Chain A
Amino acid sequence: MSQTAPVISPTEISSPEGDVELDVDLPWIVLVWNDPINTMDYVALVFRKLFGYSKEKANRLMLDVHEKGRAVVSSGPREKAEIDVFRLHEHGLWATMQHDK
């Protein structure tokens, strides 16, 4: 289906629900991965729509996804990252979240 994604090893230890306070200082990043089905125009439109990015920034991010295999599209606390991932999945983009290094 999609290009082989680079393996990125998370440095954080997966924390159970009760330890939310431990990772409050560690930012989360949301990645969008390239895939051969989503069109470039569509991906850029989704970035504009979901994150309010300018056309230029949306296009730049989309090109990063296309040429480098993935791009960081947003970052923040865990809860925000999860919402962003959900909305990206809602639009059919292949998105994952992980700790920023």
Chain B
Amino acid sequence: MAEKTVASVQAETAARREETRAQERYITPPVDIFETKDGLTVIADLPGVEQHALDVRVVDGVLTLHGKTNHIAPGTPIAQEYELLNFYRQFELPEAVDADRISAQLKHGILSLHLPKKEKAMPRQIEVQVS
């Protein structure tokens, strides 16, 4: 599955650099993608993303993962090893994936996506009739 994290905005509709500066810093979440018998499974680490702040969509054969983190640690910071930014990553889906039947699950900051193959891409056993 080819990665496709590209800027998709048009030059004339794009906001100026200063306006988007806060938004353009993203973390690329690490993912596992593997094949199963009936499709593909995508697993992504998205710590700090609530269910309602996660946007998973498929547009024109491109899968987009967009998770907004909205976590403010209490108190004043003493030492910081990480910064919780928003997550963003895109993948180009193979044509055999049935986009209508994609299912997603979020648990403990891990997103599991199941992308089933289209029926016609599945191997089909043809019974031979003996007459």
Say whether A and B bind each other.
no
| Interface of B toward A, CB cutoff 8 Å | none
| Interface of A toward B, CB cutoff 8 Å | none
